[in-house]
Structure formats: structure tokens, C-alpha cells
């Protein structure tokens, strides 16, 4: 089973944005059975009002998908915290709520059930962040936003797996509390568990603070010269043999869209 996690940067290209391929074109080059998406737009003017989770799912031939917004509105502008009433999935009405949303998405080749959402409050501070650019990065002050995780049981050919995808705070300490809360909750599940996404935690930190198995140790950020791993796949309930086998398959893909590489792992 191939797992892919990808921070979309709301579908923009860092270089030559006017001539970059579409999100659908880029996603159609990828193959995976489970896909976690972060920094995902829905009905945002800046991304041509695309429903980006749906676009990626359709491009990759994944029939089952769900989008969970963290906010209603536009990041960096005007927004309010989203609620579970704003969830949208493959069985929803064609379009539903036409307000702009921003959050995370989960897509699967296999059916979902027992869908849950875990929400995290924004840290009450702003921090200067280095935004990658080519050739020069920029430093801007950014306020934190609410965060969200999608949790679902997925019926795969080898059994039920609990999966979760999330995009955690960039504020040190807050992201550690968030990943600990998520893993503590999911550790109670009787079946195997996979958590994948952009944790905003570099290197081995997420595995160390959770004591879960990391299935990949590769730099994922920024795309044009990856030096830091912010994107991760954590696992619980897999044998050491399965963990080592998955680690041997891990790879990154620097794509024409986003400042994060997609991270891919084969899990068995």
C-alpha cells in the first residue's frame, strides 16, 4: 500500500508560476493508495476557486476523499475557525458551502469509515518565518492558525488501518503538544495506525517525542534544495520487519507545485 503526503502550498509554483502545470496535471503523475494533503484550498480566489482535494483525488483515480478545513476565509487575511459542519467529502452534494476554506485533505483508493476530526487551537503568538524563494528567501511575520487532523479507518486488502493526516503548528512546543495529543488518542486503536503530514517538526523530533516508528528519514523542504524534513509518516502496530521494509522504499518527489517535496512510502 503506497502512502503519499504532500503539502500543496495551495497549489502554487515557486518558479515560473505563469507557465507551471496545473494541480491536476502534476497530481496525475503520482501514484498512491492513501494520500494526505496539507495547505489545501477550497473556493479560494487565489487558487481559481478549485476544490483542491477533489482535484487531486480525481487526478490520481482515488474514489474516496474528505476535506477538513481549519479555517473559513483566507490565511493571512480575514478568517474564522472552521467547524465540523464545514467538512466536505466524495458523498457530499456537488459543491455545498461556497465560502473560501483552507485545511487538509485525505484521499484513498479504499473506503473510509469511522471518520473523525481533531482540532487544535492556534498558538496566541506570531513568529517570523523564512519563506523559500528562488533565488532569495523572504522573512515575514506570520500569526498561527487553528489546525486540524482527519482520522479515518480504511478498509484495505490486508485489513483495516486507522489513518490520520494533519498540518501542525509552526510554533515550537505547540506542535509537540499537538502530535502527542494525536498519537496518544490513536494509540488506543486496536488496529495498525499511520499518521502522515506536515508536522513542522524537523528530523527525528516527532518520532522521539511520540515513540512511534518513523517510516522515512529524508529532507522534504524546500523543493529546490531539500535540507529539512518537516513531512513525516509515523506508524504504530507494525512489525520491525515491516517498518524496515517501509523505510527502504521511502522517497521524495520534487514537483512543479509547492515548496515541499511529496513524501512516498510503501507500507505492508
List of residues 6+ apart from 252 with CB closer than 8 A: 218, 219, 220, 226, 261, 262, 263, 264
d(CA 102, CA 82): 9
Please name which of 54, 11, 13, 21 lies closest in space to residue 35, comparing C-alpha atoms: 54
Q: List the domain boundaries for the chain.
A: 2-266
| CA 2, chain centre distance (Å) | 15
Among 95-99, 132-136, 166-170, 184-188, which is the least confidently predicted range?
132-136
Residues 6+ apart with CB under 8 A from 165: 5, 36, 37, 38, 104, 105, 106, 149, 150, 195, 196, 197
The whole-angstrom separation of Cα 126 and Cα 148 is 19
Asked whether the predicted pLDDT for residue 29 surpasses 70, the reply is yes
For residue 173, what pLDDT is reported? 97
Q: 169 and 150 in contact (C-beta within 8 Å)?
A: no
What is the reported pLDDT for 141?
Answer: 84
Alpha-carbon distance of 153 to 186, in angstroms, equals: 11
Tell whether the model's pLDDT for residue 23 goes beyond 80.
yes
Rounded distance between C-alpha atoms, residue 147 and residue 139, angstroms: 22
Q: Can you give the pLDDT at residue 67?
A: 98
Which alpha helices (H) appear in 140-193, and where do they start and end? 174-186
CATH architecture of 2-266: 4-Layer Sandwich (3.60)
Residue 183 vs residues 123, 177, 195, 234, 238: alpha-carbon distances, Å: 20, 10, 8, 9, 15
Q: Which pLDDT score is estimated for 30?
A: 98
Q: pLDDT tens digits for 203-240?
A: 999 999 999 999 999 999 999 999 999 999 999 999 99
Task: Tell me: cis bond preceding 22? Omega within 30 of 0 counts.
Answer: no
Percentage of residues of the chain with pLDDT beyond 90? 84
Distance CA 70, CA 91 (A): 20
Q: What is the chain's mean pLDDT, rounded?
A: 94
The tens digit of pLDDT for each residue in 37-85 reads 999 999 999 999 999 999 999 999 999 999 999 999 998 889 999 999 9
Inform me whether the pLDDT recorded for 93 exceeds 90: no
Higher pLDDT, 149 or 76: 149
* pLDDT at site 95: 56
Instruction: Quickly state the pLDDT bin for 135 (edges 50, 70, 90).
Output: low
- pLDDT reported for residue 229: 99
C-alpha cell at 6: 504532500
pLDDT digits over 95-126, tens only?
556 899 999 999 999 999 999 999 999 999 88
Q: Strand locations in the chain, DSSP E?
A: 2-7, 34-42, 64-73, 79-81, 88-89, 101-108, 112-120, 126-131, 138-143, 147-156, 159-167, 192-198, 213-214, 231-236, 251-253, 262-266
Is residue 138 scored above 80 in pLDDT?
A: no
pLDDT of residue 96: 58
pLDDT for 134 equals: 61
Amino acid at each position: 500500500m503506497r502512502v503519499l503526503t504532500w503539502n500543496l502550498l495551495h497549489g502554487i509554483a515557486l518558479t515560473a508560476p505563469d507557465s507551471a502545470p496545473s494541480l491536476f496535471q502534476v497530481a496525475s503523475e503520482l501514484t498512491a493508495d492513501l494520500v494526505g494533503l496539507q495547505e489545501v484550498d477550497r473556493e479560494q480566489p487565489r487558487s481559481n476557486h478549485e476544490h483542491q482535494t477533489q482535484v487531486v483525488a480525481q487526478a490520481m483515480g482515488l474514489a474516496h476523499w474528505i476535506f477538513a478545513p481549519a479555517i473559513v476565509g483566507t490565511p493571512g487575511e480575514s478568517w474564522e475557525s472552521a467547524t465540523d459542519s464545514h467538512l466536505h467529502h466524495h458523498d457530499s452534494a456537488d459543491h455545498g458551502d461556497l465560502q473560501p476554506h483552507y485545511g487538509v485533505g485525505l484521499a484513498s483508493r479504499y473506503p473510509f469509515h469511522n471518520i473523525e476530526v481533531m482540532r487544535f487551537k492556534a498558538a496566541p503568538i506570531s513568529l517570523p518565518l523564512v519563506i523559500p524563494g528562488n533565488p532569495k528567501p523572504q522573512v515575514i511575520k506570520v500569526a498561527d492558525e487553528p489546525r486540524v487532523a482527519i482520522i479515518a479507518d480504511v478498509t484495505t486488502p490486508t485489513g483495516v488501518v486507522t489513518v490520520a493526516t494533519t498540518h501542525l503548528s509552526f510554533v515550537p512546543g505547540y506542535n509537540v503538544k499537538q502530535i502527542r495529543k494525536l498519537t496518544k488518542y490513536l494509540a488506543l486503536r486496536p488496529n495498525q495506525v499511520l499518521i502522515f503530514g506536515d508536522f513542522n517538526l524537523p528530523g527525528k523530533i516527532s518520532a522521539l517525542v511520540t515513540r512511534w516508528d518513523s517510516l522515512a528519514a529524508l529532507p522534504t523542504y524546500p523543493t529546490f534544495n531539500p535540507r529539512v524534513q518537516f513531512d513525516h509518516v509515523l506508524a504504530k502496530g507494525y512489525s520491525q520487519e515491516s517498518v524496515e521494509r517501509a523505510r527502504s522504499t521511502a522517497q521524495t518527489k520534487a514537483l512543479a507545485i509547492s515548496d515541499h517535496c511529496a513524501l512516498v512510502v510503501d507500507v505492508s
